[in-house]
């Protein structure tokens, strides 16, 4: 039976009969029960497997909230061969047994020997890899179609929500419904990650606003941070905010490159934007191991860093324009290396535009003074501390714009997962 299975494997079907017989007699056979984790994505691999019986499943993002099974392998299929060909020899996905399975193990030495005896196997390997690439391509197309369906559904739901709000008889009820919708969209809890303290606050000028912040758990090593400000205020801005936030989350899970994420969001916003609105934003990806923060800025105030509670580090801005206006769009793409004790702040211009009872602006200098004042006095500064300083400055003066802040405080030595 083993010889028949090996003979029917596309990778081996051109081998001469004596080679098939040799492989059947020399290769090791292993048995695994259902639910066994055979490979883990990212681990080093020096062998691949051929399925004699049973079924295996190919898993991406194992153990994460977005864990998904991308393919299955049954009798005659093989898994793990990419680790023998990739630089570094790492696994490209996790493999788990869906049922009890019997497998043949082909080590790197076995495979090298086979290629030496049968050089034409290289052509069969190329053909097999091409088939796998086609399969991966088709799966990617399916994912794109699914994301597109989700985005269209989200957009339709938002339009329906807007129509429902407009139909309300009383303005108070209309704004209350909108406020609850917006609160449900924003993160309810801050990420809990050793070595980092995350905080955020949003204070709309009206019952609802056009600002938003977000955290995106990309994988075990990376978290996305976003802050944005939609033109105008009130219900229209809140709806456009929700659309932008949905698009950004969808794209953030597809790429770790902030520039790519914002370019893709901009492209879809241009197709959907019929209200001539636009949005400024900063979106970045924080590497939890290296503490490097890579970000892209689209017409928004740049992040600002406080080091040692007193030194301000402000990136030199490059030309950048808001989303939903032009294509292609110039973006300011930079990186910031965080250290123990650093506090990173992302904010909207409602902070610097705050006005006190005497008509004075809080301004950029007020922002800098606030950061040094709080970070030098508080062990773990957060947005609540910053909001208190701004409130003390404003006193009873009316709020002129939405105020939104997102902060990351780093503490303790860097660690790896």
Tell me the C-alpha distance between 226 and 213, whole Å. Answer: 5
Alpha-carbon distances of 200 from 190, 211, 359, rounded to whole Å: 8, 12, 27
Based on the domain organization, do 196 and 125 belong to the same domain? no
Based on the domain organization, do 108 and 231 belong to the same domain? no
pLDDT value, residue 174? 55
Q: What CATH code is carried by the domain that includes residue 340?
A: 3.60.40.10
Question: Of 137, 152, 181, which marks where a domain is finished?
Answer: 137
pLDDT value, residue 296? 97
Based on the domain organization, do 105 and 196 belong to the same domain? no
- The CA-based dihedral angle spanning residues 105, 108, 111, 112, taken in that order and rounded to the nearest 10 degrees: -160
The number of domains in the chain is: 2
- Within a domain: 215: yes
- Within a domain: 290: yes
Nearest to 232 by CA among 15, 401, 354, 109: 401
Based on the domain organization, do 103 and 238 belong to the same domain? no
Based on the domain organization, do 131 and 214 belong to the same domain? no
Based on the domain organization, do 227 and 288 belong to the same domain? yes
Based on the domain organization, do 203 and 331 belong to the same domain? yes
pTM of this structure: 0.58
Based on the domain organization, do 124 and 235 belong to the same domain? no
Based on the domain organization, do 82 and 213 belong to the same domain? no
Based on the domain organization, do 83 and 223 belong to the same domain? no
175 touches 182 (CB < 8 A)? no
- Within a domain: 417: no
- Within a domain: 312: yes
- Residues in the chain predicted with pLDDT less than 50, given as ranges, are 417
Q: What CATH code is carried by the domain that includes residue 13?
A: 2.60.120.10
Question: Of 137, 161, 181, which marks where a domain is finished?
Answer: 137
Instruction: Give bridge partners of residue 58 from the DSSP assignment.
Output: 71, 95
Tell me the C-alpha distance between 375 and 377, whole Å. Answer: 6
- Within a domain: 167: no
Question: Of 103, 137, 171, which marks where a domain is finished?
Answer: 137
Based on the domain organization, do 104 and 32 belong to the same domain? yes
| CB burial of residue 187 (10 Å; 0-12, 13-18, 19+) | middle
Based on the domain organization, do 90 and 236 belong to the same domain? no
Per the structure, the complete domain to which residue 392 belongs is given by 189-410
pLDDT value, residue 136? 60
Cis ω for the linkage preceding 328 (within 30 of 0): yes
The DSSP secondary structure of 204-266, one letter per residue, reads: -SSSS-SEEEEEEE-SSSEEEEEEEEESS-HHHHHHHHHHHHHHHHHHHTT-S-HHHHHHHHH
- Within a domain: 158: no
- Within a domain: 87: yes
* Locus of tokens 């196997």: 121
pLDDT value, residue 224? 97
pLDDT value, residue 353? 92
- Within a domain: 184: no
pLDDT value, residue 210? 76
pLDDT value, residue 399? 84
Structure tokens given for 21: 């017989």
């Amino acid at each position: 039976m083993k010889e028949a299975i090996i003979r029917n494997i596309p990778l081996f079907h051109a081998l001469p009969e004596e080679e098939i017989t040799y492989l059947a007699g020399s290769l090791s056979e292993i048995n695994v029960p259902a639910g066994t984790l055979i490979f883990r994505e990212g681990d080093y691999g020096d062998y691949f497997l051929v399925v004699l019986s049973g079924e295996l499943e190919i898993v991406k993002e194992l153990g994460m909230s977005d864990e998904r099974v991308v393919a299955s392998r049954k009798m005659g299929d093989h898994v793990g061969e990419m680790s023998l060909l990739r630089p570094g020899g790492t696994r490209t996905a996790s493999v788990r047994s869906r049922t009890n399975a019997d497998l043949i193990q082909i080590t790197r030495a076995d495979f090298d020997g086979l290629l030496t005896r049968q050089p034409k196997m290289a052509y069969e390997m190329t053909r097999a890899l091409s088939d796998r690439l086609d399969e991966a391509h088709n799966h990617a197309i399916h994912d794109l179609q699914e994301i597109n369906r989700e985005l269209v559904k989200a957009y339709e739901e938002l339009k329906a929500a807007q129509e429902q709000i407009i139909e309300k008889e009383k303005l108070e009820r209309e704004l209350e419904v909108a406020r609850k919708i917006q609160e449900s969209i924003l993160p309810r809890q801050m990420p809990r990650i050793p070595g980092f303290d995350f905080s955020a606050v949003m204070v709309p000028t009206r019952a609802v606003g056009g600002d938003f912040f977000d955290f995106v758990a990309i994988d075990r090593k990376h978290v996305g941070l976003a802050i944005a400000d939609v033109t105008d205020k009130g219900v229209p801005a809140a709806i456009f905010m929700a659309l932008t936030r949905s698009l950004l989350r969808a794209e953030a899970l597809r790429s770790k490159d902030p520039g790519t994420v914002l370019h893709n969001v901009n492209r879809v916003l241009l197709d959907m934007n019929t209200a001539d609105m636009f949005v400024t934003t900063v979106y970045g990806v924080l590497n939890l191991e290296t503490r490097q923060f890579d970000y892209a800025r689209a017409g928004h105030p740049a992040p600002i860093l406080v080091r040692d509670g007193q030194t301000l580090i402000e990136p030199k801005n490059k030309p950048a324009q808001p989303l939903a206006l032009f294509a292609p769009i110039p973006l300011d793409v930079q990186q910031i290396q965080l250290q123990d004790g650093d506090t990173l702040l992302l904010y909207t211009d409602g902070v610097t535009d705050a006005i006190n009872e005497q008509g004075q602006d809080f301004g950029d200098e007020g922002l800098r003074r606030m950061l040094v004042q709080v970070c030098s006095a508080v062990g773990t500064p957060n947005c609540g501390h910053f909001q208190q300083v701004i409130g003390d400055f404003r006193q009873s003066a009316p709020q002129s714009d939405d105020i939104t802040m997102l902060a990351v405080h780093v503490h303790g030595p860097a660690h790896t997962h």
